[in-house]
Amino acid sequence: MVLDDLAVPIVLAPLAGGPSTPELTAAVSEAGGLGFLASGYLSAETTRDRIEAVRELSSRPFGVNVFVPDDSSPDPQAVAAYRDRLRAWADQRGGTIGEPQTTDDDWDRKLELLTADPVSVVSFTFGCPSREVIESLKAAGSEVWLTVTNPDEAAEARGAGADVLVAQGAEAGGHRASFVDRPGLPVYGLLALLQILARTESLPLVASGGIATGAGLAAALCVGARAGQCGTAFMLCPEAGTSPAHREALRSGTDTALTRAFTGRLARGIRNEFMDEHSDRAPIAYPQLHYVTAPLRKEARERGDAGAINLWAGEAHQLAEERPAAEMVQSLAAEAREALETSRRLID
């Protein structure tokens, strides 16, 4: 099991949409943690190139994360009405709106790639792949990690043959990993979810959501996680591809919120003008709305306008630090040891 061989129980979260780079993945793996490469929004060819780039930088184990395609069909009228609303908003600001599209994020070809040329771990988000898919990746030599957000998803993931459960709490930055997006989904905080899964599941758990310090990591380990998966904490590292406007927002104390306004799927980001104006009107329609807002967000990133960018970040984003990823891994591990010793003294 990959987790048994890590020098430090730290996993780099896959960070699709810019922050994930081969340099960041390799740096975390080289420092003794487990680096992940995001394949979301990339073609199978680009994913292959990035895997090659990681291998050139490091011979340590690393993982690749894949989005499970969503086969639900959103209400076309609701999508059209939301698009009209965004068009009016974009017209006022001189921005461009895209067309709704349905894609499977190159699912079949990514699975072909990962079975033909396996990496140490393949993790999934947004759903539970079939038992056949999981078995074929395992037969190729990979471990399969499934991201879950509640006890029912954890039981389903176990039933499908997962090796490890990545428990994503409400604090987490970016999209909720839930198997389906629907109104009124349960949103468990990380500690509550870990405590429940530690009782109900025997699979190893990786904790994800709001872990930004060694003390946070220590708390997750105490509650039964075998490792902590950190995303936002690594987004200011020089190796990350985080845009300048996003970096500036991460350094601020602005709070975060869950929204469907940018992509049609619930995600946590730093509050900004776009989120505040559109969140209450956005329908559930992923990936359709991702494509509607993509040109607007790209333009905003290019001109450094944080008001119209999806500023994905976890609740503890103001604790992120600008330092090389290897240093971040080492200081998280050292702080976690210290926090565990302090806790021990308190209980003794």
Ligand X SMILES: Cc1cc2nc3c(=O)[nH]c(=O)nc-3n(C[C@H](O)[C@H](O)[C@H](O)COP(=O)(O)O)c2cc1C
Nearest residue (CB) to ligand X, 91 versus 302: 302
Closest CA to 68 of 205, 178, 183: 178
CB atoms within 10 A of CB 155: 15
Angle between the 44-57 and 22-30 helix axes, to the nearest 10 degrees?
Answer: 40
Stretch that binds ligand X, among 152-160, 165-173, 257-265, 336-344 (CB under 6 A): 165-173
Which amino acid is residue 180, in one-letter code? V
Encoded tokens for 343: 């806790």
The nearest distance, CB 290 to ligand X, in angstroms, is: 12
The nearest distance, CB 81 to ligand X, in angstroms, is: 28
Give dist(CA 290, CA 281) in Å, integer. Answer: 15
Nearest residue (CB) to ligand X, 15 versus 51: 15
- Residue 61: exposure state from Cβ atoms within 10 A (0-12, 13-18, ≥19): middle
Which residue from 25, 29, 58, 147 is in contact with ligand X, where contact means CB under 6 A? Answer: 147
Count residues contacting ligand X (CB under 6 A)? Answer: 30
The nearest distance, CB 216 to ligand X, in angstroms, is: 9
Site residues (CB under 6 A) for ligand X, limited to 173-212: 173-174, 177, 208-211
Nearest residue (CB) to ligand X, 14 versus 161: 14
Nearest residue (CB) to ligand X, 83 versus 297: 297
Stretch that binds ligand X, among 135-143, 155-163, 167-175, 191-199 (CB under 6 A): 167-175
- The mark string for 218-237 relative to ligand X (x by CB under 6 A, - otherwise) is -----------xxxxx----
Indicate the SS3 state at residue 71: coil
- The mark string for 39-68 relative to ligand X (x by CB under 6 A, - otherwise) is -x------------------------x---
The DSSP code for 2 is G
Nearest residue (CB) to ligand X, 41 versus 89: 41
The nearest distance, CB 243 to ligand X, in angstroms, is: 10
The nearest distance, CB 300 to ligand X, in angstroms, is: 15
Which residue's entry shows tokens 């960018």?
309
* Contact criterion met (CB below 8 Å) for 36 and 11: yes
Give dist(CA 121, CA 135) in Å, integer. Answer: 13
Site residues (CB under 6 A) for ligand X, limited to 124-143: 125
Give dist(CA 97, CA 77) in Å, integer. Answer: 17
Q: How far is CA 92 from CA 87, 96, 233, in A?
A: 9, 11, 35
Site residues (CB under 6 A) for ligand X, limited to 5-24: 13-17, 19
Give dist(CA 102, CA 276) in Å, integer. Answer: 26
Site residues (CB under 6 A) for ligand X, limited to 291-330: 312-314, 316
Give dist(CA 317, CA 300) in Å, integer. Answer: 21
Nearest residue (CB) to ligand X, 90 versus 240: 240
Nearest residue (CB) to ligand X, 83 versus 256: 256
Give dist(CA 89, CA 91) in Å, integer. Answer: 6
Give the interface with ligand X as residue ranges (CB under 6 A): 13-17, 19, 38, 40, 65, 125, 147, 168, 171-174, 177, 208-211, 229-233, 312-314, 316
